[in-house]
Structure formats: structure tokens, C-alpha cells
Chains A and B, each alone.
Chain A
Amino acid sequence: MAFFAIALLAGTGFGLAQPPTSQIIARVSEQFEALQDYVVTLSAQIEVPNFRMPCKEVIVWYKKPDKFKFKSSGFLLMPKFRFLPGSSSFLSDSLDVRLVRTQQDDGITYYVVVAKPKPWVQQKNSPDLEIFVNSQRWTVDRIVIKSADIGMSEIRNVYFRLGDFWLPETTRVVFEMRGSIPAHETPDFNRFFVAPEYLKNNRGELLRGRMLITFANYRLNIGLSDEFFKEKNRE
């Protein structure tokens, strides 16, 4: 994989002065090597036309390598894409990752890495990821997700320093998806316990929305046990 990435970068002619992709991946992952577990409180606000969800709080517990547990006071929509610290699914083995360019933004150099699902895991309309890695602190500051099926989404992270770690303080998600929510005045009351027909067959129009996720009350390396994650998620 690393050899392939280096060879590809060498072949494109602009990767010589830049670290190889594998090194970028390694440096991003190193950020969280000493982070064994944590608990954090997220609050999420979502803005979608004709959709209303109150601001929600959810407590997230994480333990290496990929154990998550959520506790929410009610129903919550969360981006499918793993944006939580410690999670690195966008750089997992199932992705082909390669550095495509560097970019200057506010005096910071970003390594722009493209990740695509490997052919044997690729499904129809699998999204392509463009990941902007901050070269100064090796954090993922921006991710652009492109999918023929669900449109384009963009995630922007703002970090703060806590001990040895750069941790997300806010995550802003701008997304597109297929299927708008019509603002029908009168619901369909003919049938009980089913969604109105107009919501079931609305795959055509493109819907744009925004989500703001704020992180608070981090507690790091608190010694969470595996058994804690075996309990049913308290939702």
C-alpha cells in the first residue's frame, strides 16, 4: 500500500517534496496513539428545509480501537461519516488513499488526500473522500465527500488543545442528499402508523442542509472497561 502510494506520487511528479501518503496517515493516527478512551458530550443542531429537530445532547464514550457507546435523551441524527476523535475509518484498510496536492489556507499547508473504497469493497455509488490534513498539527480539518447518489457533503473541524491532544471543539457539516421533504399542509390521515406517501417516493430533488456539532466536557483516558461497551447502548 505504502509502496503503491509512493510510486503513484513519484509518477505524478509533485510528490517528491512532500511526505508520502503513508506518512501522512501515520502522523494523523499518531495523534491518538496515547488516547486509550474518552467521554465527551456533543450537542447537535441541524438545519434542513422543512425539517425540525431540537438541539440535542448526546454523551459519547469511546475506547480503542473502535468501540463507541452513545447516550441521548431522545432521537438524534448523526452523520454516517465518522467524525469523532480516535475514529479513523476514513483512513482504514478498506480505502485506497493517495496524496493529490498541497494547499495553502490562512498560512497553513494542507495535504489533500483522496480516499476511495478499494475495488473489492466498492459498492454502487460509494463516495469519494477528499481529506485536508493540517501539516502543522496533523489534524483532519476538512473533509469533502462526493457521491453520485447523495450529492456532496463537507465537514469542517475546529480544534482546541487539551493536554497532548488536538481535539475537535466544533464540527460543521454541510450536506446534500437526494429526496426533499415536501411542506405538505395536511398530513395523510387515511392510514394509521405509516408515513405519508409523499415522503416515501421523493428520491428526485436534491436537499441541502447544515449541521453544527459542539464538543464539551472531554474526559480522556479514564480507564473504560470493555464490559462497559457490552451493555446495551442507553439511548
Chain B
Amino acid sequence: MTPFIKTIRWELVKIFSKWRTYIGFGTILILVPLIMVLVRKYGIDIENEALRSFQGAFDYIGSVTNGLLVSYFLMNVLWIHFPFFIVLVAGDIVASEGASGTFRILLTRPLSRFEVITGKFIATYVYTLAIVLFLGLVSVGLGIAIVGGGDLLVFNKGILIFSQGEALPRFLIAYLVASVMQMTVGALAFLFSTWTSNAVGPIIGTYAVIVVSYILSVLQIDALQAIRPYLFVTYFNVFFVPFNVPVPWRMIAVQLGKLGIFILIFYALSVVSFIRKDIKT
């Protein structure tokens, strides 16, 4: 195992040895089953609302209220709620070294600063991927187990119904894509983390950027159209794109490419910031 791989592994050990890392996993494990049980017990009346046009001429056989539908709606947490679990770790991963005074020990190892910061960055993505896939696994798995499986109804340029066999691969693609979207947030928090020795600043700073970006992206002001392509939240809807027919791979690739550019910019700035950092503790 090369020293660089060891660094990544060690960073992951550090991430998963902190209790705050498990806040996200714990919240998912409490919230998702609770929602599933509530839906199973009380139901949701979505098909009568969504398929109102058909009610005069058609009867329904079966129901679209199932675990997949609940999981699909739960993906809405990825917009603004879920990033909290990402910034909690990404905002802490560099700043906490400064706060605890471990930078000097860390940098005595035979690794360049570039390798150290890159190892931390990769570990942040591994955590991001893990928690996003965990959300997907718990959401879809417990959804099917508690509420039941079946067809998935989605609202995407109309009403689309997918069989369970069609829906499950789309969920997998959606969550993989969502991990990149979440990593954009993580990369920004990571950048802020290289500027400070306190994790609170990066967490609040990242959320401030997200909220301001959302506001700018929804305001119906013509002048704002010009800046929207430069807001990373503009491309955040990419995780719903796999629920199209057929799957628009090109659109997904383009949007992921744009998010990737943001990630690379934040990463590059983080590297520069860390290499130039004056470490006194």
C-alpha cells in the first residue's frame, strides 16, 4: 500500500472515529423508517390528485402509494437538508487539524502537502458517497420492506409510471449522481475548511452560499439570468434527471461535467490555500 493510499485510509479512519460523522447516518436511520411507517399507517392520497384527469374514464387496479414513491419524494431532502451532513464532515476535516494542533505531526510524514490535502479531499468524497448511498439503500430498501414495492409514479414533464424493475436502476443512477452533487457542497465546505481552524465557520459559510444561490436561482429577475450558469445550485436537479424516458445520458454527463468543474475549482483553491498555509501550531 503506497503512503498516499495509507493517507486516504487514515483520513477515513479519522472521519469515522468522530461521533459527528454518525449524526447523518443516525438521522437517516430514525427519520426514514418513521416516515415509511407513517405512510404505511396513514397512506398518502397522491394518485387521486395526480391522476384526476383519468378518474372519469378509468378505474385503478393496484396503487402507486408504495415504498418507491416515498423514496422518490424523500430525495427532495437532497436539495437543502441533506447537505448539512456533508458540510458537517467536509467543513471539519481540515479545520479540526488546526483546532487540535495536529498539523505539524501530520506533516512530519513523508508526504507532500499536496498529497495530504488530496488524501483528505478523496476521503471526504468517500464519506459523501457512503452517506448518499446509505440514504438510498435505507430509503428504497426500507420503503419496499415497510410500505411495499410496486410501480413508481414520478412527475417529470408530465406523469411517468415506471415498473419496479425500471425504477430500481434509476434510483441507483440518481443516488450516484447525487453523490457528485453533494460533493460540490462538500468541496466548497472543504475549501472554507482550509481557511480556518474552526469547523463552525465553514459549515455556516457553506450554508450561506447555498441559501443565497438558491434565492438568486429562483428570483424571476431578468438580470439574474446571466449569472445562473455560474451558480452550482443551477445544476442540482441532475439527480432527478435519470427519471426521464429514455434516460438522457448526455444531459446527465453535461450537468455532472459542470458540477465537476466547480468541484475541481474548489479543490484547486483548497490545494493552493493549504500549500501556502502558514502552519504555526
Contact A77 B164 (CB under 8 A): no
B44 at interface, CB cutoff 8 A? yes
Contacts of B73 in A (CB 8 A): 192-193
Interface centre among B52, B58, B245 (most CB of A within 10 A): B58
Contacts of B44 in A (CB 8 A): 193-194
Instruction: Count B interface residues, CB 8 Å.
Output: 42
Instruction: Count A interface residues, CB 8 Å.
Output: 47
B224 at interface, CB cutoff 8 A? no
> From DSSP, what is the main secondary structure of chain A's interface residues?
loop
Contacts of B74 in A (CB 8 A): 192
Contact B155 A184 (CB under 8 A): yes
Contact A184 B56 (CB under 8 A): no
Within the complex, which residue of A76, A189, A195 is in contact with B62, where a contact is CB–CB below 8 Å? A76
B281 at interface, CB cutoff 8 A? no
Contact B157 A73 (CB under 8 A): no
The verdict on A195 contacting B58 (CB below 8 Å), with A52-B158, A75-B153, A184-B157 known, is no
Contact B163 A149 (CB under 8 A): no
Q: Which of A123-151 contact B (CB under 8 A)?
A: 147, 149-150
B64 at interface, CB cutoff 8 A? yes
> From DSSP, what is the main secondary structure of chain B's interface residues?
mixed
Contact B62 A74 (CB under 8 A): yes
* Cα-based distance from A199 to B51 in the complex (angstroms): 8
Contact A54 B163 (CB under 8 A): yes
Name the distance in Å between A85's Cβ and chain B's nearest Cβ: 17
B79 at interface, CB cutoff 8 A? yes
Please tell me which stretch of A7-15, A108-116, A162-170, A171-179 contacts chain B, meaning at least 4 of its Cβ atoms lie within 8 angstroms of it.
A171-179
Contacts of B245 in A (CB 8 A): 52
Contacts of B82 in A (CB 8 A): none
* Cα-based distance from A52 to B159 in the complex (angstroms): 6
B222 at interface, CB cutoff 8 A? no
B53 at interface, CB cutoff 8 A? yes
Extra inter-chain contacts (15) besides given A74-B62, A78-B61, CB under 8 Å: A51-B159, A52-B159, A70-B61, A75-B47, A75-B64, A77-B58, A79-B59, A153-B57, A181-B159, A186-B237, A187-B240, A194-B44, A194-B46, A199-B53, A200-B49
Taking beta carbons and an 8 Å cutoff, which residues of B are in contact with A? 39, 44, 46-47, 49-54, 56-64, 70, 73-74, 76, 79, 150-151, 153-164, 166, 237, 240, 245
